[in-house]
């Protein structure tokens, strides 16, 4: 008989909800924690998170609560899916409530404001005794909810944690792969948000397919160049959490970051675009942090510098794209074997 886990997800947005429902459908009891009592009541009564995933039926083994202590009581696996700006606050609040044996899994693709710390690093600082993992990949929540075949990556230095999370989440429509490069997988998920904004800009300007192909591959080179400076394995970026996530996020209007770039490319100001959004677009926060860290480390990132100039220095878009492309290094492949 398969082992049944007690699981909680902190964060009732679209991705936290869909991951929680995948766990419930695999036969595990799961609690979804969120702050909004009206939405909690709707989820428990109608079996639907109508604000983020209308029409998506939730399994009866999933229940929602606003009580943090109730949500994490006796859980052995805890997913954290809150926005990066509140990730430390929630991690600190939950630290005294969980066992040191509880496995912590970050679902958040972002970087902490005020520094350059990924979510797994915040978990390590706030709950140093707990085992940790991350989940990332080309995972648009709406498509998972619609039943489209999806692949994702769980990453931990511990093989047994990867195996446990595989069994917890894997299904015929949601395929789970493993990696030991937790930092590389997490960086891929965070950095691609920046380049999705660029892709949206390119789409708004009616760039040709040749240009889009160049933009995507140079983005991948730039991401991996930076990540290696922080200790990631460049080969990680050839997988789902790297090129897979980059491609999906840079080509789909479902991506919030892509939509920001597209709207700016059509003449809206960044302030106007952000005011119209009902969910956090992590790429905006990540851009500023990434540029600052790249400058500090001396990593050449012309695409990041160009996007920063467009969004924060009011540089003309066409001029900045010319600058970005002409200042790129002449090497095609950033890392070669042998």
Establish if 185 belongs to a structural domain.
no
What would the pLDDT profile of 193-232 be if each residue is shown by its tens digit?
A: 999 999 999 999 888 889 888 889 989 999 999 999 999 9
The pLDDT-based confidence of 325 (bands split at 50, 70, 90) is low
Determine the pLDDT at residue 1.
42
The pLDDT-based confidence of 270 (bands split at 50, 70, 90) is confident
Establish if 332 belongs to a structural domain.
no
Q: What is the CATH number of the domain that holds 196?
A: 1.10.1040.10
Residue 67, number of CB atoms within 10 A of its CB: 11
Of 326 and 195, the one with more pLDDT: 195
- Edge-to-edge, what's the strand order for the sheet holding 132-136? 62-65, 29-33, 6-10, 77-80, 103-106, 132-136, 150-155, 174-179
Of 338 and 313, the one with more pLDDT: 313
Q: What is the CATH number of the domain that holds 65?
A: 3.40.50.720
The residue from 69, 192, 271, 291 that is catalytic is: 192
Q: Is 12 annotated as a binding residue?
A: yes
Could you tell me if 175 and 150 are in contact, meaning their C-beta atoms sit under 8 angstroms apart? Answer: yes
My answer on whether 212 and 257 are in the same domain is yes
Determine the pLDDT at residue 32.
98
Determine the pLDDT at residue 324.
67
Q: Is 183 annotated as a binding residue?
A: no
My answer on whether 16 and 99 are in the same domain is yes
My answer on whether 211 and 176 are in the same domain is no
Could you tell me if 33 and 98 are in contact, meaning their C-beta atoms sit under 8 angstroms apart? Answer: no
Q: Is 82 annotated as a binding residue?
A: no
Rounded CA gap, 311 and 127, in Å? Answer: 36
My answer on whether 217 and 277 are in the same domain is yes
Domain that holds residue 237: 190-327
Closest CA to 19 of 141, 165, 113, 191: 141
Q: Is the dihedral of CA 189, 10, 50, 274 positive or negative?
A: negative
Q: What is the mean pLDDT of residues 301-307?
A: 91
Find where tokens 């789970």 sit.
176
Q: Is the pLDDT of residue 107 over 90?
A: yes
Establish if 336 belongs to a structural domain.
no
My answer on whether 296 and 220 are in the same domain is yes
Q: Is the pLDDT of residue 17 over 70?
A: yes
Q: What is the mean pLDDT of residues 279-297?
A: 87
Establish if 338 belongs to a structural domain.
no
My answer on whether 27 and 165 are in the same domain is yes
The pLDDT-based confidence of 318 (bands split at 50, 70, 90) is confident
Secondary structure class of 111 (helix, strand, coil): strand
The pLDDT-based confidence of 277 (bands split at 50, 70, 90) is confident
Establish if 64 belongs to a structural domain.
yes
Determine the pLDDT at residue 280.
66
How many structural domains does the chain have?
2
Q: To the nearest whole number, what is the mean pLDDT of the chain?
A: 91
Determine the pLDDT at residue 254.
82
Find where tokens 């708004």 sit.
204
The pair of three-digit structure tokens given for residue 227, joined into one six-digit string: 């990540």
My answer on whether 149 and 37 are in the same domain is yes
Determine the pLDDT at residue 332.
73
Select from 156, 180, 204 the last residue of a domain. Answer: 180
Rounded CA gap, 192 and 335, in Å? Answer: 19
- In the chain the first and final C-alpha atoms are separated, in Å, by 48
Q: Is 16 annotated as a binding residue?
A: yes
Residue 112, number of CB atoms within 10 A of its CB: 18
Select from 157, 180, 203 the last residue of a domain. Answer: 180
My answer on whether 56 and 106 are in the same domain is yes
Q: Mark whether 192 is an active-site residue.
A: yes
Q: Is 141 annotated as a binding residue?
A: yes
My answer on whether 20 and 67 are in the same domain is yes
Task: Give pTM, 2 decimals.
Answer: 0.91
Phi, psi of 249 (to 5 degrees): -70, -30
Q: Is 52 annotated as a binding residue?
A: yes
Determine the pLDDT at residue 323.
67
Q: Residue 111 class from Cβ within 10 Å (0-12 exposed, 13-18 middle, 19+ buried)?
A: buried
Select from 148, 180, 212 the last residue of a domain. Answer: 180
Find where tokens 């690093």 sit.
121
Rounded CA gap, 317 and 306, in Å? Answer: 9
DSSP string covering 15-37: HHHHHHHHHHHTT-EEEEE-S-H
How far is C-alpha 133 from the geometric centre of its chain's CA atoms? 13
Establish if 337 belongs to a structural domain.
no
Rounded CA gap, 144 and 166, in Å? Answer: 16
My answer on whether 150 and 232 are in the same domain is no
My answer on whether 149 and 233 are in the same domain is no
Q: Is 15 annotated as a binding residue?
A: yes
My answer on whether 250 and 312 are in the same domain is yes
Q: What is the mean pLDDT of residues 247-269?
A: 89
Closest CA to 107 of 193, 180, 20: 20
Q: Is 298 annotated as a binding residue?
A: no
Q: Is 116 annotated as a binding residue?
A: no
CA distances from 28 to 12, 19, 61, 139, 167 (A): 18, 12, 7, 21, 11
The pLDDT-based confidence of 295 (bands split at 50, 70, 90) is very high
What would the pLDDT profile of 132-154 be if each residue is shown by its tens digit?
A: 999 999 999 999 999 999 999 99
Of 179 and 326, the one with more pLDDT: 179
């Amino acid at each position: 008989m398969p082992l049944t886990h007690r699981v909680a997800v902190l964060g009732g947005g679209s991705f936290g909800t869909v991951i929680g429902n995948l766990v419930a459908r695999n036969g595990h009891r799961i609690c979804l924690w969120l702050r909004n009592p009206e939405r909690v009541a709707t989820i428990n009564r109608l079996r639907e998170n109508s604000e983020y995933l209308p029409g998506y039926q939730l399994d009866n083994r999933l229940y929602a609560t606003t009580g943090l202590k109730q949500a994490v009581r006796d859980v052995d696996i805890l997913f954290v899916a809150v926005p990066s700006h509140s990730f430390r606050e929630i991690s600190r609040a939950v630290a005294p409530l969980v066992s040191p044996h509880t496995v912590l899994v970050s679902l958040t693709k972002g970087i902490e404001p005020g520094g350059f710390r990924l979510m797994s690093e915040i978990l390590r600082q706030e709950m140093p005794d707990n085992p940790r993992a991350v989940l990332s990949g080309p995972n648009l929540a709406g498509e998972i909810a619609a039943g489209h075949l999806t692949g994702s990556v769980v990453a931990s230095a511990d093989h047994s944690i990867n195996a446990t999370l595989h069994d917890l989440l894997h299904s015929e429509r949601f395929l789970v792969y493993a990696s030991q490069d937790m930092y590389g997988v997490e960086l891929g998920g965070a950095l691609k948000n920046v380049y999705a904004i660029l892709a949206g800009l390119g789409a708004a300007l009616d760039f040709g397919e040749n240009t889009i192909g160049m933009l995507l591959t140079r983005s991948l080179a730039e991401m991996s160049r930076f990540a290696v400076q922080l200790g990631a394995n460049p080969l990680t970026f050839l997988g789902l959490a790297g090129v897979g996530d980059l491609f999906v996020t840079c080509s789909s209007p479902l991506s919030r970051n892509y939509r920001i770039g597209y709207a700016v490319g059509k003449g809206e100001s960044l302030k106007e675009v952000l005011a119209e959004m009902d969910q956090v677009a992590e790429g905006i926060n990540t851009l500023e942090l990434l540029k600052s860290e790249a400058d500090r480390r001396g990593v050449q990132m012309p695409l990041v510098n160009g996007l920063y100039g467009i969004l924060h220095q009011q540089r003309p878009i066409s001029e900045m794209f010319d600058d970005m492309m002409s200042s790129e290094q002449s090497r095609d492949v950033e890392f070669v074997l042998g």
